[in-house]
Amino acid sequence: MFLTAPFISDFCHRFPSCCYSTKFKKDCCVIRKRRFSGFNIFAPSVLERSVLRTSSSRDDLFCYRPKSCFPVMSASESASDTKFGFIALLGKTNSGKSTLLNALVETKVAIVTPRVQTTRSKIVGVFTQGNSQLAFMDTPGIFTPKRRLERAMIDVAKKARQEADLIVLVVDVSKVPCFGADVFDETTMEIAKLCSQRKAGSELLLCLNKIDLVSDSQLKQVEASVIAGLRLSFGEIFRVSALTGQGVREMRDGLIPFLPKGPWLFESDDMTSMPMRSYAAEITREKLMLKLREELPYAIAVETVDWKDKEDGSIRILQHIFVERESQKAIILGRGGQNLKQFGMEARQELAQVFGKPVHLFLQVKVRKDWSEDVDYYKSWGLRYRI
């Protein structure tokens, strides 16, 4: 099968998380599900490098693709037999989008912390059911940006609404006006505006999340307040608790009728398009964000700089933790390096469970004052640098 450069370029536009600078992403994997004793676990599947470069202006980008990145159908299937759709999860920060994504795909794809702005880029989680394949796009929460990185994060969410076949507006029902928090502030109305400016033909749906925090009677009031306040028309309304799992399966089943007909873009056992190097870096960043205080979690970045599969079946991973000041480095290291040792142990244990093999994780803390202005960092995560 011959693939033209424009096709590759268009693919990379729709899958920015599959396009990475060769400086950062030379050996990549995707998370793939395999069954073992009734449980879902992960197995890394090596990506093939496309022989064609993209025709975009971004320098030296390659399209890394699993076999599933192009339409996947068996001999007995056709595009008329299958359904596929991109589903963008939009909402304010801390509305529970990442937790919802993980619940919908029944796998931890996105890291989750109680802090706002945990998600920095678009995360794609895949779930296949029957003849339907759903590609969920978790996006950074909408807020008022101040720095370049924050503007790039918001840009991801704005672009997702133009890429998605379905848009799901996720609302935290515990923060609706009638319960003492102003959900209809300027940011919320900006989200409503973005939803109204979605691409032609895409459906808008509403997800009322965290229903475990309100009573049934309160939930009815919340629903009425949201519909009246946002002044949007929703094709369907889902009521879920992503944390407990209540209503999640019903929501996923309810999305299928809205999917357009077409071929799958992933294998049936693919769970995400995120490379393993990026996934490993995110797990480490999650451990840091869960323990660090105040503004320090937002001043760090984690990069996987080396990955080696050893002959004994284990994996050796070297990661750099970038901070902006020497004082921040001292906090992460802790007395005698104890903090860093604890972060590394927690990340290593989770990665070993995910990969199903021993992991040797080495962490180094480096001071790079302008890491958030480094264009290569933005490329590595599919973020626009100039906005």
**292: Cα separation from own chain's centroid:** 22
Query: Assign residue 38 a region: left if phi > 0, alpha if psi is -120 to 50, beta otherwise?
Result: left
Domains with residue ranges and CATH for the chain: 5-69 (no CATH), 83-258 (3.40.50.300), 276-380 (3.30.300.20)
Note down pLDDT in tens along the chain; length 387 residues: 333 333 333 444 444 444 333 333 334 444 555 333 333 333 333 333 222 222 233 222 223 333 344 455 554 455 568 999 999 999 888 899 999 999 999 999 998 988 887 887 888 999 999 999 999 998 888 777 778 888 887 788 778 888 899 999 999 999 886 554 445 677 778 888 888 888 788 899 999 999 999 999 999 998 988 888 888 899 999 999 999 999 999 999 999 999 999 999 999 888 988 889 999 999 999 999 999 988 788 889 999 999 999 999 999 999 999 999 999 999 999 999 999 999 999 999 999 999 999 999 999 999 998 888 888 877 877 778 876
For the full predicted model, state whether its pTM sits above 0.85. Answer: no
Give the separation between CA 101 and CA 307, rounded to whole angstroms. 27
